[in-house]
Structure 1
Amino acid sequence: MSTITTERRSKPRRVAGGLAVPRVGATLLALILPVVLVVSWQMSGTNGSVFGGALPTPDRVWEAWLKWAFGASSTMGLNPYSGTWAESVVFSTIRVAKGFAIAILIGVPLGICIGWSKLVSMVIDPTIQWLRPVPITAWLPISIAVFGISDFGSVFLITIGAFYPIVINTTHGTRDVEKNWIRAALMMGSSPFTVLRRVVLPAALPSIFTGLRIGLGIAWTAVIVSEMVAVKSGLGYVLWDAYYVGRMDIVIADMVTIGLLGYLSDWLIVRVDHFVLRWRRLQSYNA
């Protein structure tokens, strides 16, 4: 047993093309393009700006973010963004978490039912495919009319955005389960519910996690869109307000913040994916 474990741990991690890259090396490779872009952006600026003053250089964005994140709160209105970064991050993150959780609770069971039952598929799937092309922005008037300027309106839009990739990927994952596995389980006396729980769901999990990652990315898009119009707080509200008053340094700092939050939340989904589906890595080690 110890020999097998040692062999598994000693195998290098492979990437595309068959090259074995250490984890630290992979991190450094991932940083090359962002560093090149930032350096090029900084060097192309004159007097702290780019494109004739339309955009600030990275050093000005960094200074603006420091004041936004750690500056003293202003009571005189001189710098309304000072010291409000953490508050905006918390507001947006909570809304994304709520909307994403609702989308999971509805989308995953519904996708399994659609993929498992032809009757459910014929009744529900056409309506989902009909509504799916409607963009999030088209739901804004309905959200404001029904929920007003409130958090629930934002959560509603996030749920709508994250729901479709989750339910569609879950449906395809359920439909693509090897039919011989299902037949074998049924022949061994398993009930349909047991087959669904012990065979179909585990086999569909890779597709489900793919849907979760796509849905989470759309959730961050939806929260920014909703906060620009449907609520008066959060990163989306700050982004639009900063653009309105000409604070492009805050706009870019806001964009970078959104990107980092999206990256970290996606990384968390990937970690959960690797933990839940660790049996797939064992199969690859044994292959």
Structure 2
Amino acid sequence: MSGMKFSLSHSLSEAKWRFAVPVLLVLFWEAFSRSGVIPASLLPAPSRVFSTWMDWIFGINEAAQDSSGKWIYDAFASCMRVTAGYLIAAVSGIALGVAIGWWRWVERAIEPTVQMLRPVPPVSWIPLAIIWFGIANKPAIFLVFLGAFFPILMNTVHGVKTSDRNLLRAAAMAGAKQGQLLRFVILPAAMPSIFAGLRIGIGSAWMLTVTAEMVAVKSGLGYALWDSYYFLRYDLVIAAMISIGLLGFLADWILKQIMNSVLRWQQVSTVQGKA
């Protein structure tokens, strides 16, 4: 019973510190906006942003005007593009990363091209993406794929190359075939690096879908943000920014839960090592 009380007290204390900085920033923002140093039309107070955001979501008071009640459609459009591009990047990045890390001939054949393309900013592909795919979902999905692909690829390559060679030798001596080595030794050993790449990739995916929606798509949170800027609706601009941040945080949290579940063996070994 005392252990449960300690755990609850510890969780509450941790939550208090985790939310302390955001609450202080919001209070400072509210006070600064109301001070009149910057016109309220240029820096709307959090209370106004929250009111507009709630109308954007629920359609309660027309504070968001034409966007009233349309948040769910914008958020769904952005989430769909992120999910599609990210899944393509995850599957191809992990598969190609394992191949580059495991087979020398694949590394020699592909890595120079990868290293040449990797420094090119994904946003520089926007003109070509529009020419190739038009103004629709496809250019946004393509840009999301580019943004997420390289972090996943490079982290997978790193994870495969830094796998414990003693484990490989032990498995080979036990008679494991190459496919078994990849499945039962290399992939589990590379998983921490792969998940690190996946978490970096999901952040890049959200950044690129918003960029694409500003230029090449006529729906989504990025489009709503850019359209609000043109009409000087900075409360909606900030509400869109907050929405993107929260959805990105949620996506990373889901990935983190999956990672903790898949890498439970690593957490157990860490705890045993400390003991």
Q: TM tier, shorter chain?
A: over 0.9
Q: Matched residues in 2 for 1:111 and 1:175: separation?
A: 10
Partner of 1:221: 207
The reply to whether residue 177 of structure 1 matches residue 163 of structure 2 is yes
Q: How far apart are residue 80 of structure 1 and its match?
A: 1.2
Q: Name the structure with the higher helix share.
A: 2
Partner of 2:108: 122
The C-alpha deviation readout for 1:7-27, integer Å capped at 9, x for no partner, is xx99x99xxxxxxx8233222
Note if contact 1:73-1:84 (Cα within 8 Å) is conserved in structure 2: no
The reply to whether residue 37 of structure 1 matches residue 25 of structure 2 is yes
Partner of 2:189: 203
Q: Matched residues in 1 for 2:101 and 2:175: separation?
A: 22
Q: How far apart are residue 225 of structure 1 and its match?
A: 0.3
Q: How far apart are residue 43 of structure 1 and its match?
A: 0.8
The C-alpha deviation readout for 1:42-98, integer Å capped at 9, x for no partner, is 011227x66233210101101111111111698xxx921111111101000011000
Gaps of 5+ in 2: none
The C-alpha deviation readout for 1:144-180, integer Å capped at 9, x for no partner, is 0000001011101100100000000000000000111
Measured at CA, do residues 273 and 64 of structure 1 come closer, stay the same or move farther in structure 2, by a change above 3 Å?
A: same
The reply to whether residue 61 of structure 1 matches residue 88 of structure 2 is no
Residue of 143, 148, 159 corresponding to 1:157 = 143
Q: How far apart are residue 200 of structure 1 and its match?
A: 0.4
Measured at CA, do residues 56 and 73 of structure 1 come closer, stay the same or move farther in structure 2, by a change above 3 Å?
A: closer
Aligned Cα RMSD in Å?
1.9
Partner of 2:67: 81
Q: Matched residues in 2 for 1:132 and 1:34: separation?
A: 35
Partner of 1:16: none
Note if contact 2:55-2:61 (Cα within 8 Å) is conserved in structure 1: no
Amino acid aligned to 2:155: N
Q: Give the structure-1-normalised TM-score.
A: 0.89
Amino acid aligned to 2:204: I
Measured at CA, do residues 50 and 112 of structure 1 come closer, stay the same or move farther in structure 2, by a change above 3 Å?
A: farther
Partner of 1:105: 91
Q: Give the structure-2-normalised TM-score.
A: 0.93
Q: Matched residues in 2 for 1:271 and 1:50: separation?
A: 43
Q: Matched residues in 2 for 1:198 and 1:73: separation?
A: 57
Amino acid aligned to 1:237: Y
Q: Matched residues in 1 for 2:187 and 2:102: separation?
A: 10
Percent of matched pairs sharing the same residue: 43
Alignment size in residue pairs: 267
Q: Matched residues in 1 for 2:18 and 2:225: separation?
A: 27
Partner of 2:120: 134
Q: How far apart are residue 137 of structure 1 and its match?
A: 1.1
Q: Matched residues in 1 for 2:252 and 2:194: separation?
A: 14
